[in-house]
A and B are shown apart, each in its own frame.
Chain A
Amino acid sequence: MITPERLSYLLHSRPVPQHHFARVGEELDIQLPRVPLTAETQFVELAASLRGSDAIEVAGGRDVLDGAMLPRTVHARALRPGRSVISIQAIDPLSRAAIGGVEPVEIVIDVAPSGG
C-alpha cells in the first residue's frame, strides 16, 4: 500500500506551472502533473476538480496516455474575469474520499478583462 508521503512526492516531484494568466476570450493549455501508473499507484485515483469564480471553462483534455494517471494537458477557455483553481487530489476510488496526508496540487488561473 502506497503511503501518503510517497503519493505526495509523486504528485509534486515533477513540478508544472501552478499559476496561469489569461484574458477573457483567450484559450490556454494547462499542463498537469505527470504521475506514472504503476504497481504502487494502481489503487489510487487522481481526481481533478475545478473551483473558483467560473473564470474558465475546461474545453477538454488530451487522452490519458498508457502509463499515466492524468492527461498531460487540459484545454481551457477564459470566460470572464476572476480566478479559477484546478485541484488535483488523491482519492480512494471506491469511497471517493480524499486520502489523508496527501497535499493536493493546485493550479491557479487568473483571468483579466479582455484588452485591459
Chain B
Amino acid sequence: MATRSPFGVTQEELHLMEQQQVAANVNVAVAPAPGVPAPEDFAASLANKRFARPEEVLAYFLEENQPHIEVEGSVFRLQREDETDNLSPEEIEQAAQERLLWDEQNLRPQCSSTPAVVDHRPDQTGIRSQEDRGTCVCFASLACLEAIFQRQGTTLDLSEQYANWLFMQFESRDQCDDGMKTTDAASYLSQKGVCEEALYPYEDDATVNQHCAAQPPAPVQQQARYGIGQYVIIDRPGLNGPSIANTAYLECLLSQGYDIVFGTHVAWGHPDAAGVFDLIRDPYGNPLRSRGGHAMLLVGYNRSAPLPYFIFKNSWGSTGVGGYYHLSYDYVRYYSKYGYVVLAARKEMA
C-alpha cells in the first residue's frame, strides 16, 4: 500500500505519551518487549476501537483525511467502520483519495467529495445572546430550527426562555436552572414545541430568578408549536464513521445542507488573526483541560484556509467573528462531545 506522507510519531512523542500515561491506554508499542503488544495488536486495537483514550491522542497526531499512522517505520491505516478486508490496496488508496466515506443505510450521508468551503451563515437568523445564563443548548437548538424554517421561507424568532423552561420541566428542574446535555434537547423538542420569542421573551439571570417556579401562561403554551419532526444523534465512537469527531463526516453533513447542534468542551485560548481558535497545549505538551461544556450550531467549514476551520453560530452576542466562532479541525477532533442533526422541523406540534 502506498503511503502518502504518513504522520510519523517520533520516539520523543511516544516518550511524551508514556509520561502522560497515555501510551499504556492505547497500547503503543515502541519496540517489541515482553508484555508489550506487538505492532499488529496496536493496529488491531485501532481497528477495533478497544482503546481508552485513543481518539484524544490520535486526534492530536492525525491530520485531516490522513488515513495512515506510522510507528517506528511501520505504517498502519485507520480502518473505517464500513470497510471490508476484501478491498485491494489500490482500492483503499483510491477511496482515501476520493474522500470516500460510507454507504448510508440509516440516514447517514454519502459523500464522494465535498467542496472546500461550505458556509450556511446566509441561512441563519440573527445573532442572539444568552447573557449570563447557561442556556446555550436552548440557543443552539432553536437557531437550528430557525435556520430550517428560514430556508423554507419563514423567518422566526423562537423563544429560548420557553425552551429552557420546557427542558427544565423534562428534567424536573425549574426555569432558573440551566445546563444540560445538548443531545437531550433533540428528544425534548420532538415531544413538545416552543413558542415565538415575542410571546415569552428572554430574561437575564437576575430577572428570571425573581420567578423561578413560574410557568408560561396557558395561551402561550398553546402557541408552543415549533419543534422537531425527525433527528439523528451523533455520538463520539472515535475518529471514524459517523462520529462528531470525524471532520470528514461533519463536512459531509454540512455539504448536504444540514446544520449540526454541537456540544463541545471549551478549552480555547485567543484566536489567531483569522479568528480561528486552535488546540492549545500547556508547557508540558498536554492539550488544555476542559473548562466546561458548551453548545453551538455548526454551520460551515473552510478547508482552504491556512488553518482550516469549522464555523459555529454562537450565542454570546457579537463576540468572535460577528457572533460566529471558528474552531480548527484539530480542536473539533479533540474537544467535540456529541451533537444532533434535525432532518425535519415541525410547525404544528400538539
Please state if A66 and B131 are interface contacts (CB–CB under 8 Å): no
CB distance from A59 to the nearest CB of B (A): 19
Please state if A45 and B317 are interface contacts (CB–CB under 8 Å): no
Residue on A nearest B293 in the bound complex, by CB: A66
- A34-58: contact bitstring with B at CB < 8 Å (1 yes, 0 no)? 1011111111111000000000000
A interface secondary structure, majority:
loop
- B262-287: contact bitstring with A at CB < 8 Å (1 yes, 0 no)? 01001111000000000010100000
Partner-contacting stretch, out of A16-24, A67-75, A107-115: A67-75
B269: A residues at CB distance < 8 A: 43, 93-94
Please state if A66 and B317 are interface contacts (CB–CB under 8 Å): no
Q: Which of A43, A67, A70 contacts B180 (CB 8 A)?
A: A67
Please state if B267 and A66 are interface contacts (CB–CB under 8 Å): no
The interface on chain B, measured as residues whose beta carbon lies within 8 A of the other chain's beta carbons, has a size of 35
- A90-112: contact bitstring with B at CB < 8 Å (1 yes, 0 no)? 00011010000000000000000
CB distance from B161 to the nearest CB of A (A): 14
- B234-274: contact bitstring with A at CB < 8 Å (1 yes, 0 no)? 00000000000000000000000000000100111100000
| Contact-size category for A | 20 to 34
A45: B residues at CB distance < 8 A: 289, 291
- Which B129-152 residues have a C-beta within 8 angstroms of A? 129-137
Contacts A66-B137, A67-B137, A68-B134; A34 near B179 (Cβ below 8 A):
yes
14 extra A-B contacts, CB within 8 A, seeds A36-B133, A94-B282: A42-B291, A43-B269, A45-B289, A46-B291, A46-B292, A63-B293, A65-B179, A65-B180, A66-B134, A67-B136, A67-B180, A68-B293, A70-B292, A96-B282
Q: Which residues on B are within 8 Å of A, measured CB to CB?
A: 129-137, 177-182, 205, 263, 266-269, 280, 282, 288-295, 316-317, 319, 337
